[in-house]
Amino acid sequence: MVIKQGYRTVTADEVTLDHAKNEVTAQGNVIVDDGQMEVRAPYVESNLNNQDTTVRDATYTMLCQPGRGEAKRVFKNGTTFYELEDGTFTTCPEEDNSWRFTAGKIEKEDGDIFADLKHARFEVLDVPILYLPYLRVPVEDGRLTGFLFPSLGLSSRDGFEVETPFYWNIAPQYDMVITPRYMSRRGLQLDSTFRYLTEGYGTGSLTGEYMQSDQLHKDMGSRWGFNWKHAAVINHWKVNADYSKVSDISYFSDFSSDIGQREDNTLLQTASMSYRDTFWDST
């Protein structure tokens, strides 16, 4: 049986309508689709007056962006927000639970690109890795200042390694990622990338890496790397620049770095300017 109300569709084996309360109860292979989320569950109840909907033992899939999960209870407050109790969230494909968030409560307002997780756990292959009492995660395309997912590593060269990147949404045309990187055998390194977009003068980025003292090479003093990239098209002119520099010749053999372009063990420092017209061009 199928029931439609505006943009909402409910499909189920059995549907009961209470005319006095104007409430619908659906049971058996229930599918609720409101254009933003598809929810599957054995039982759903909905008020047709205010559109409040409660779903038990649900699995859900986001329809406009990657995202899926499960919840003991899903509550949709009319057209205002979703509330999930004992819920999970992941962007992994179906049948793939490489990682996911679990939370006692997940809330998302309509029109908001972020979901609020309370008593959240980050799990990898169903193993809890990190607990946070409160967390905001993006579930649609958008940007918000805050910490990104941390990363952990272990190597014979650097020892135990942890990175905690922080994203700074400075303005629509500027942003920055600041990443403290701790290596147990070397010490603390600070990495940062600043990106910019100018009106009429192109786009670019500034990337820097800095370590005050390398515990494996204390005699070398501070160690650092720097890169500037810029690209622009101004009328008939095209400009490209890629300038990099590091503190010492052993920098790339000692650190995992994304600084600049390297070719034949040489750090490239390049720039070009071109002029193009209908019948000729020069560089």
pLDDT of residue 141: 63
pLDDT, residue 240, reads 96
Extents of the domains making up the chain: 1-142, 144-283
In this prediction, residues 93-114 reach a mean pLDDT of 80
Distance in angstroms (rounded) separating the CA atoms of residues 57 and 157: 48
249 burial class (0-12, 13-18, 19+ CB within 10 angstroms)?
A: exposed
**Percentage of the chain with pLDDT > 70?**
95
Helix (H/G/I), strand (E/B), else coil: 256: coil
In sequence order, the β-bridge partners of residue 149 are none
Q: Is the pLDDT of residue 110 over 80?
A: no
**CATH class of segment(s) 1-142:** mainly beta
pLDDT in tens, 221-262: 899 999 999 999 988 899 999 999 999 988 988 888 888 777
Confidence at 176, pLDDT banded by 50, 70, 90: very high
Answer yes or no: is pLDDT of 78 > 70: no
Please give the sequence-ordered ranges of beta strands (E in DSSP) within 90-186, or none if there are none. Answer: 99-109, 114-124, 127-138, 146-147, 151-155, 159-163, 166-171, 174-183
Handedness of CA 48, 52, 57, 62 (dihedral sign): positive
Contact 122, 103 (CB under 8 A): no
Q: What does the pLDDT look like over 183-193, one tens digit per residue?
A: 999 999 999 99
pLDDT at 261: 77
- The string of pLDDT tens digits covering residues 31-65 is 878 777 788 888 888 777 777 778 888 888 887 77
CA distances from 10 to 21, 54, 58, 76, 84 (A): 18, 12, 14, 14, 19
For the CA atoms of 36, 41, 44, 50, what is the dihedral angle to 10 degrees? -10
DSSP class of residue 143 equals: -
Task: For residue 6, give the 3-state DSSP assignment.
Answer: coil
* 131-136 mean pLDDT: 84
Looking at every residue in the chain, the average pLDDT score rounds to 85
What whole-number distance in Å separates Cα of residue 282 and Cα of residue 273?
8
HEC string of 34-68 equals CCCEEEEEEEEEEECCCCCEEEEEEEEEECCCCCE
Q: Which of 230, 235, 258 is CA-nearest to residue 246?
A: 258
Give mean pLDDT, residues 170-195: 94
Q: Round to whole Å and give the CA distance between 154 and 182.
A: 11
Asked if 222 and 242 touch (Cβ cutoff 8 Å), the reply is: no
Distances (CA, A) of 47 to 37, 249, 251: 18, 70, 65
Task: Give the single-character DSSP code of 90.
Answer: B
The secondary structure of residue 13, as a DSSP letter, is S
- Checking if the pLDDT of 174 tops 70, the result is yes
Amino acid letter, 10:
V
- Least confident stretch, 116-120, 142-146, 271-275: 142-146
Segment 202-209 mean pLDDT:
95
> What whole-number distance in Å separates Cα of residue 142 and Cα of residue 133?
23
